[in-house]
Amino acid sequence: MSKGVTVWFTGLPCSGKTTVADRVAEILKKQGLKVERLDGDTVRKGLTSDLGFSKKDRDENIKRVTFVAKLLTRNDVIVLATFVSPYRERRQLTREEIGSLMEVYVRCSLEECMKRDVKGMYRKAMAGEIKDFTGVDDPYEEPESPELILDTDKETVEESAEKVLGKMKSLGYL
C-alpha cells in the first residue's frame, strides 16, 4: 500500500521531466498503485487554457495545479507532476500547500535540451518569435534543496526512473 504523495518534477523545457515521469507511472501502475499524471502541456489544454506565459500567469498555472495535486495526494493517489515551474517561491508555496511532496530537479544542460527540442521552441525563442521562454529570456531558478536530482543528460531514462522509485521508497511513500 502506498500513501499519497506528489512527486514534482521541475527543470528546463525538454530536460526529460515527462519522459522520466511517464516511465515511473508505468512501473507504479503495473504494481497496482493509484497514479495520476499532471503534465504542463496537457494541463494547459484544459485547466489553464486561459493563461499565457507571463510570470503572473505561470504562477497562476502552478497554483491551480497545486490545488488539484493536493486533492489527489490527500486521497492516497501518487501524483507525478511535470512542470517547468521556474520560480523557487512558487515551488515553495506548492510544497507548503500539498505537504507530502518530493521535489525532483531534472537537471540537463541547455545544449542537450536544445538538441531534444522536437517542437523547435528554443530556436523560436532565440529568434525572438517566443517571448518569456524559460532558459532563454526568462530565468529558471534551480531548486536549492530538492529531495532528488536527476542528471538526464548523463543517465538513461531507466536509471532516472529507478532513482525516483528508490527515493520514494526511502522516504516511506512506497
Enumerate domains of the chain plus CATH numbers: 5-170 (3.40.50.300)
pLDDT at position 33 is: 96
| Average pLDDT value for residue range 147-174 | 97
pLDDT at position 103 is: 98
pLDDT at position 29 is: 97
Got the DSSP string for 47-114?
TTTT--SSHHHHHHHHHHHHHHHHHHHHTT-EEEEE-----HHHHHHHHHHHSSEEEEEEE--HHHHH
| pTM of the predicted protein model | 0.94
pLDDT at position 74 is: 96
Per-residue pLDDT tens for 119-152? 898 998 888 888 888 888 888 999 999 999 999 9
pLDDT at position 3 is: 85
| Average pLDDT value for residue range 4-18 | 97
Amino acid at 88: R
Distance of CA 1 to the CA centre of its chain: 24
Per-residue pLDDT tens for 41-96? 888 888 888 988 888 988 999 999 999 999 999 999 999 999 999 999 999 999 99
| The one catalytic residue among 2, 15, 85, 160 | 85
pLDDT at position 1 is: 58
Cell numbers found for residue 38: 499532471
Residue with grid cell 512506497, as numbered in its chain = 174
85 is catalytic: yes
DSSP state of 15: S
pLDDT at position 128 is: 87
pLDDT at position 172 is: 94
Say how far apart CA 47 and CA 105 lie, in whole Å.
24
**pLDDT > 90? residue 7:** yes
